[in-house]
Amino acid sequence: MAEKAHVGSDIQLAARLLAEGKLVAIPTETVYGLAANAYDPEAVLGIFEAKKRPFFNPLIVHTADMSRIADFAGPIPPSLRKLAEQFWPGPLTMLLPRGPKIDPLITAGSPFVAVRIPAHPLTLELLRQLPFPIAAPSANLFGTISPTQSAHVEAQFGDVLAYILDGGPSSVGIESTIVKLAEDERVQILRHGGVTVEHLASMLGYVPETAKALHDAPEAPGMLKSHYAPRIPLVLGDIETLMSAHSGKPIAILAYTNHDYLPTDVPLQILTLQGDMHEAARNLFNMMHLLEHSGAEIIIAEKAPETGLGIAINDRLMRAAS
- Per residue in 211-265, pLDDT tens? 876 555 678 777 776 778 899 999 999 999 999 999 999 999 999 999 999 999 9
Q: Name residues whose C-beta falls within 8 Å of residue 276's C-beta, 6 or more positions apart in sequence.
A: none
Supply the pLDDT for residue 1: 35
218 inside domain: no
State whether 257 and 200 are in the same domain: no
89 prior amide bond cis, ω within 30: yes
How many distinct structural domains can be found in the chain?
Answer: 2
In 3D, which of 54, 51, 219 has the Cα closest to residue 146? 51
Q: Which residues of the chain, if any, have pLDDT below 50?
A: 1-3
Q: Is the dihedral of CA 116, 133, 40, 21 positive or negative?
A: negative
Domain-located, residue 27: yes
Using alpha carbons, select from 276, 274, 297, 300 the residue that is nearest to residue 287.
300
Q: How far apart are CA 156 and CA 168, in angstroms?
A: 17
pLDDT at 279: 98
Are 252 and 311 members of one domain? yes
Q: Which domain holds residue 56?
A: 6-210
The enclosing domain of 239 has a CATH number of: 3.40.50.11030
CATH code of residue 66: 3.90.870.10
In a domain, 220, yes or no: no
Residue 45: inside a domain, yes or no? yes
What pLDDT, on the 0 to 100 scale, is given for residue 2? 43
Residue 41 lies in a domain: yes
- Note whether 293 and 188 are same-domain residues: no
Question: Which DSSP string corresponds to 141-192?
Answer: STTBPPP-SHHHHHHHHTTT-SEEE---S-SS-SPPEEEEE-TTS-EEEEE-
Residues in the chain: 322
Average pLDDT, the chain: 94
181 in the same domain as 60: yes
Task: Give CA–CA dist 273/258, Å, rounded.
Answer: 6
Q: Are residues 238 and 304 in the same domain?
A: yes
Does any domain span residue 216?
no
CB neighbour burial string for 89-123, b if at least 16 within 10 angstroms, e if fewer: bbbbbbbbebeeebbebbbbebebbbbbbbbbebb
Q: What pLDDT, on a 0 to 100 scale, did the predictor assign at position 219?
A: 80
* Residue 63, amino acid: T
In a domain, 226, yes or no: no
Q: Are 73 and 158 in a shared domain?
A: yes
Same domain, 60 and 142: yes
Domain assignment present for 132:
yes
Say if residue 280 is in the same domain as residue 149: no
